[in-house]
Amino acid sequence: MALTFAASSHAVVRKVSPRGRAVRRSLTGWAFAGPATVLVVGLSLFPAIWAFFISRARWNGISPGVPVGWSNYQRLATDPDMLAAARHTLLLTVLFVPSSIILGIVVAIALNQRIRLIGFYRTCIFVPYVASAAATGILAGFVFNPQFGAANDVLRHLGIPQQQFLESPTQALFVICLIALWGEVGFCTVIYLAALQDIPRELVEAATMDGASRWRVFRHITLPELRPVTVFTAVWQTITAVQLFDLIYTTTRGGPLNSTQTVVYYIYELAFQTQRLGYGAAAAYLLFAVTLMLTVGIIWYSRRRGSEVF
Amino acid sequence: MRRWLPFSPWHLLLMPLALLFVLPLVQMVLTSFMSSAEINQFPPKLFPTSLHLEGYRALLTETPALRWFGNTVLVSTVAVLAHLVLCSMAGYGFARLKFAGRGLAFLVIVATVMIPIQLLMIPTYLMFARLGIVDTLASAFVPWLASAFGIFLMRQFFLALPVELEEAARIDGCGTWRTFWSIVLPLARPALATLAVFTLLSSWNDLLWPLIAISDDNRFTLQVGLANFQGMRRTEWSQLMAGNVLATAPLILAFLFAQRKFIATMTFSGLKG
């Protein structure tokens, strides 16, 4: 108590003006928030704005850039490589997002049962999420090896002809989608599991008492309750699919015959293999705009549909 | 439910699924202990006949894999420590301290979450080249020193803490810094653990950024080193699998020991949206 009195009387003697105190408070606040704010803004907002200026120039990063206006964007619209990359990214997204959502819901419902071994099942299904995409890609190259891989061994047991998998231009993108699902379903499952456990038990019990079948409970209680989470996972998984890079780099590097070259992989090649920085930045901005529209679209659509999930 | 099976029918779905998810990882570990002759057989074998350490020996003597491992440990350690300090300070500032520009600064930080990596990689590379840190380990960890996600997570946590404790500390004569450091931070352990797991996962597993920023062999992180090594020697499977074990085992072990914390982190990073 004595200490408190001493401190407060000291403050009265000093007579700090209210304005001085506000300045001091701001300084303290910025001392706390400043370092992280400067880092985050300096490493995201600032480069994002700079990227826009780069996208309006022809530049190899060494000699001075030449301003070219919107012509990088115009050339992208007719660039056959860009169009092929966009097609691959779209196909990957259309395959990956619904599959990961449906699998996530099914696996989460299965893992929500009170049965034996459930802890073991959960650990097994979540653990691939922790493995890096680079390691997953290298491992996939082994499992899907056409000569001695385990995947072909399984097909042999089922009596299905041997496949080329990642070495076939018609199959590679589908195999990559499968590998991406293996790595990401754990994440979706965790999200849905948490959402399932948040559903009020009384709701299900009341419906069962009223004679609703298990299917009807699922269709009219569980699914609507999962709706907000589904909007989130749809957005999240769309971003994951659009930005997929590590897995492609460690499996096919865009091949065979460019059949797995996605937009992000194309941007990487433009900027860091062929040093076309302006053109690469323009492609990056285009992809950003499309992703943003997709995200807004998903959220808008889900709001409009009201209580329906699918 | 009618009992037409001696066990729950859910096992029929979960058992094959669980094996599908975990068997490739088991095969990865077992293959790392095989000889090349054993690996190149068809049909493939799951178990090695005896423990061959050639893969590991060749990996550690012919490549700087140990060094890559050390680099990754260093990058992740710096990333986690910096994240814990900087994001908890900023989170506390945004949650509790009143200062000019607070609302705007927080809004800008939240908005940056929308900006994707492919938009940032070109200008960030150029920026680092001008600062002269391209091709150093610093270029690998600087982007991981703080994140919008970390600031947001800590702010939400501090907002939910009752303010009375801090007011009591203030009345007892604690300054802002001491209140934060010795009263608030010890209470924030669960949030700090979530933040640490998140940062560890992201920085340890990152490939794209260090791939761009670093071209000197000796400064590779483990993920970049492995991806590069795989590009040169596609057929040295025992070495590649040994490298994969080195790259994934630390996180998988951490996951097995602290599964709850990992799952809480995944859930939080999902439910913030």
Residue B86 to residue A245, Cβ atoms within 8 A = no
Per-residue pLDDT, B242: 94
Q: Which two tokens stand for residue A196?
A: 């399932």
Distance, in Å, from the CA atom of A262 to the CA atom of A248, rounded to the nearest integer, reads 9
Q: Which two tokens stand for residue A55?
A: 């996208």
Interface check A154 vs B, CB under 8 A: no
Residue A143 to residue B27, Cβ atoms within 8 A = yes
What percent of chain B has pLDDT above 90? 66
Distance, in Å, from the CA atom of A221 to the CA atom of A226, rounded to the nearest integer, reads 9
Provide the shortest C-alpha distance from residue B260 to chain A (in Å).
Answer: 10
Distance, in Å, from the CA atom of A247 to the CA atom of A205, rounded to the nearest integer, reads 44
pLDDT at B271 over 70: no
Per-residue pLDDT, A2: 40
The domain tally of chain B equals 1
pLDDT at B145 over 90: yes
Q: Is residue B16 part of a domain?
A: no
Question: Mind listing the pLDDT tens digit for each residue in A88-119?
Answer: 999 999 999 999 999 999 999 999 998 999 99
Closest CA to A173 of A252, A270, A268, A86: A252
Per-residue pLDDT, A4: 41
Residue in chain B nearest A147 by alpha carbon = B42
Chain A environment of B203 (Cβ under 8 Å): none
Per-residue pLDDT, A23: 87
Q: Is residue B119 part of a domain?
A: yes
Looking at domain A72-304, which of 1.10.540.10, 3.30.70.2740, 3.40.50.20, 1.10.3720.10 is its CATH number?
A: 1.10.3720.10
Distance, in Å, from the CA atom of B223 to the CA atom of B149, rounded to the nearest integer, reads 23
Q: What angle do CA A224, A227, A230 make, to 5 degrees?
A: 145
Residue B40 to residue A148, Cβ atoms within 8 A = yes
Residue B207 to residue A132, Cβ atoms within 8 A = yes
CATH of the domain at B178: 1.10.3720.10
Q: Is residue B115 part of a domain?
A: yes
Provide the shortest C-alpha distance from residue B164 to chain A (in Å).
Answer: 17
Closest CA to A253 of B101, B232, B71, B209: B232
The residues that bridge with A302 in the sheet, in sequence order, are none
Long-range contacts of B5-8 (CB under 8 A, 24+ apart): B7/A115, B7/A116, B8/A113, B8/A115, B8/A116
Q: Which residues, numbered 161 to 220 in chain B, qualify as contacts with chain A under a Cβ-Cβ cut-off of 8 Å?
A: 171-173, 176, 180, 201, 204-205, 207-208, 211-212
Per-residue pLDDT, A20: 83
Of A60-64, A190-194, A229-233, B87-91, the one with minimum mean pLDDT is A60-64
Per-residue pLDDT, A60: 87
Per-residue pLDDT, B174: 87
Q: Which two tokens stand for residue A229?
A: 């989470």
Q: Across the A/B interface, how many CB contacts are shorter than 8 Å?
A: 311
**Cis ω for the linkage preceding A256 (within 30 of 0):** yes
Q: Is residue B267 part of a domain?
A: yes
Q: Is residue B15 part of a domain?
A: no
What percent of chain A has pLDDT above 70? 93
Provide the shortest C-alpha distance from residue A239 to chain B (in Å).
Answer: 9
What percent of chain B has pLDDT above 70? 97
Interface check B131 vs A, CB under 8 A: no
Q: Which two tokens stand for residue A202?
A: 């009384």
Q: Structural domain boundaries of chain A?
A: 72-304
Chain B environment of A192 (Cβ under 8 Å): none
Provide the shortest C-alpha distance from residue A228 to chain B (in Å).
Answer: 10
Chain B environment of A282 (Cβ under 8 Å): none
Distance, in Å, from the CA atom of B163 to the CA atom of B157, rounded to the nearest integer, reads 12
pLDDT band at A10 (very low <50, low <70, confident <90, very high): very low
Per-residue pLDDT, A99: 97
Q: What angle do CA B243, B249, B250 make, to 5 degrees?
A: 115
Interface check A257 vs B, CB under 8 A: no
Q: Is residue B13 part of a domain?
A: no
Q: Is residue B189 part of a domain?
A: yes
Chain B environment of A155 (Cβ under 8 Å): none
Note whether B64 and B217 are within 8 A (CB): yes
Chain A environment of B27 (Cβ under 8 Å): 139, 142-143, 150
Distance, in Å, from the CA atom of A246 to the CA atom of A279, rounded to the nearest integer, reads 22
Note whether A267 and B118 are within 8 A (CB): yes
Residue A50 to residue B143, Cβ atoms within 8 A = no
Distance, in Å, from the CA atom of B123 to the CA atom of B209, rounded to the nearest integer, reads 12
pLDDT band at A18 (very low <50, low <70, confident <90, very high): confident
Domain, as residue range, for B172: 26-39+47-271
Is B46 or A192 the better-scoring residue by pLDDT?
A192
Per-residue pLDDT, B262: 87
Residue B117 to residue A243, Cβ atoms within 8 A = yes
Per-residue pLDDT, B126: 93
Q: Which residues, numbered 172 to 191 in chain A, qualify as contacts with chain B under a Cβ-Cβ cut-off of 8 Å?
A: 182, 185-187, 190-191
DSSP letters, B209-241, are HHHHH---GGG--HHHHHHHHHHH-TT-HHHHH
pLDDT at A12 over 60: no
Residue B259 to residue A291, Cβ atoms within 8 A = no
The predicted complex's ipTM stands at 0.91
Q: Which two tokens stand for residue B13?
A: 């779905």
Number of neighbouring beta carbons within 10 Å of residue A22? 13
Question: Mind listing the pLDDT tens digit for each residue in B95-139?
Answer: 999 999 999 999 999 889 889 888 999 999 999 999 999 999 999
Amino acid at B137: L
Mean pLDDT computed over B163-187: 90
Closest CA to A296 of A243, A231, A241: A231
Amino acid at A132: S
Look up the pTM and report it: 0.89
pLDDT at A307 over 60: no
Distance, in Å, from the CA atom of A230 to the CA atom of A12, rounded to the nearest integer, reads 58
Chain B environment of A156 (Cβ under 8 Å): 43
Residue B93 to residue A32, Cβ atoms within 8 A = yes
Per-residue pLDDT, A14: 54
Q: Which two tokens stand for residue B111?
A: 């908005």
Note whether B223 and B210 are within 8 A (CB): yes
Chain B environment of A267 (Cβ under 8 Å): 118, 121
Interface check A284 vs B, CB under 8 A: yes
Residue B173 to residue A190, Cβ atoms within 8 A = no
Query: How do the residues of chain B divide into helix, strand and coil, expressed in percent and rounded to 5?
Result: 75, 0, 25
Q: Is residue B19 part of a domain?
A: no
Chain B environment of A268 (Cβ under 8 Å): 118, 121, 208, 212
